[in-house]
């Protein structure tokens, strides 16, 4: 969508969400920003206001369905939401607990249920208006299960496939659906990883690529291309060929 006027972003208090917030912040734009950390969210909101945006913030957990739905509907009442970016997510690293059973459940709850909780309150409103764009944050990790991050990879695969199916379904209602699949981006999420991260890029650069992809209504916004090619290649190989190699890969920070 070209020049969305009201954009709602979850996970706006940090990393990619914060970078997207700053990129979209401008005169005549309304930003509804969601996160949990009051101090960081307030700081990002203040910077967006300085750039001329009208900003509303909300602190809650994306897993709290009713609270999130009520806030999203309130935002839409104030001004119809043009673009919603379901970006909030955690990994084993940011949970600081590896992928224990509890952490695996938390990852699915945030990365999958949290995305559903974000997009569903607004979807019928966009369908009724025959207007809107829904962006869902997946990952290049969605193309293959990587050791050390089974729940993370699986949650991102679910989001990607859900979004791809939804795109075809909502096309008839003129509602655009886009799935975002970044590789390694420098944010607090990857700062805890103690292994080489090929082609890692700054969050600001990632945000520019995402914005360009959303403007062009690309079905899948996957980048950087080198990592995308690599994961697609690995996904095409038989599991048994990769067993030895995969079991030697380092785990996400914990």
Ligand X SMILES: NC(=O)c1ccc[n+]([C@@H]2O[C@H](COP(=O)([O-])OP(=O)(O)OC[C@H]3O[C@@H](n4cnc5c(N)ncnc54)[C@H](OP(=O)(O)O)[C@@H]3O)[C@@H](O)[C@H]2O)c1
Q: In the complex, what is the shortest distance from the CB of residue 187 to ligand X, in angstroms, rounded to a whole number?
A: 3
Which residue from 110, 118, 133, 178 is in contact with ligand X, where contact means CB under 6 A?
110
Nearest Cα residue to 203 out of 220, 190, 219? 190
Q: In the complex, what is the shortest distance from the CB of residue 58 to ligand X, in angstroms, rounded to a whole number?
A: 10
Helix (H, G, I), strand (E, B) or coil at 236: helix
* x/- map, 152-191, ligand X, by CB under 6 A: ------------------------------x-xx-xxxx-
Task: Examine residue 148 and tell whether it contacts ligand X (CB under 6 A).
Answer: no
Site for ligand X in 29-68 (CB under 6 A): 35-37, 40-41, 61-63
Task: Examine residue 103 and tell whether it contacts ligand X (CB under 6 A).
Answer: no
Task: Cite the DSSP H helix spans in the chain.
Answer: 15-24, 38-50, 65-78, 92-95, 101-108, 114-119, 123-129, 150-170, 188-191, 203-215, 225-236, 239-247
Query: Residue 117 region, left (φ>0) first, then alpha (ψ -120 to 50), else beta?
Result: alpha
Query: Is there a contact between 86 and 118 (Cβ–Cβ < 8 Å)?
Result: yes
Query: Is there a contact between 135 and 159 (Cβ–Cβ < 8 Å)?
Result: no
Which residue from 4, 6, 7, 13 is in contact with ligand X, where contact means CB under 6 A?
13
CB proximity list for 242: less than 8 A, separation 6 or greater: 234
Q: Is 152 a catalytic residue?
A: yes
Catalytic residue (one of 24, 152, 162, 228): 152
Chain positions contacting ligand X, by CB under 6 A:
10-11, 13-17, 35-37, 40-41, 61-63, 87-91, 94, 110, 114, 137, 139, 182, 184-185, 187-190
């Amino acid at each position: 969508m070209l020049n969305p006027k009201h954009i709602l972003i979850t996970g706006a208090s940090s990393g990619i969400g914060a970078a997207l917030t700053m990129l979209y912040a401008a005169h005549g734009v309304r930003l509804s920003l969601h996160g949990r950390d009051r101090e960081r969210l307030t700081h990002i909101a203040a910077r967006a206001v300085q750039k001329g945006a009208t900003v509303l913030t909300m602190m809650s957990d994306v897993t709290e369905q009713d609270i999130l739905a009520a806030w999203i509907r309130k935002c839409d009442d104030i001004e119809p939401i043009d673009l919603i970016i379901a970006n909030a997510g955690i990994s084993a690293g940011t949970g600081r607990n590896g992928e224990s059973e509890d952490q695996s459940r938390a990852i699915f709850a945030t990365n999958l249920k949290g995305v559903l909780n974000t997009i569903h309150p607004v979807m019928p409103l966009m369908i009724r208006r025959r207007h809107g764009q829904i962006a869902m944050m997946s990952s290049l990790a969605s193309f293959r299960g990587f050791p050390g991050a089974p729940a993370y990879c699986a949650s991102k695969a679910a989001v990607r496939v859900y979004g791809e199916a939804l795109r075809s379904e909502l096309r008839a209602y003129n509602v655009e659906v886009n799935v975002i699949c970044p590789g390694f981006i420098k944010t607090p999420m990857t700062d805890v990883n103690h292994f080489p991260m090929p082609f890692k890029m700054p969050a600001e650069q990632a945000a520019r690529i995402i914005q360009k992809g959303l403007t062009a209504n690309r079905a899948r916004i996957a980048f950087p291309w080198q990592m995308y090619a690599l994961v697609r290649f690995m996904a095409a190989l038989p599991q048994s060929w990769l067993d030895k190699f995969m079991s030697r890969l380092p785990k996400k920070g914990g």
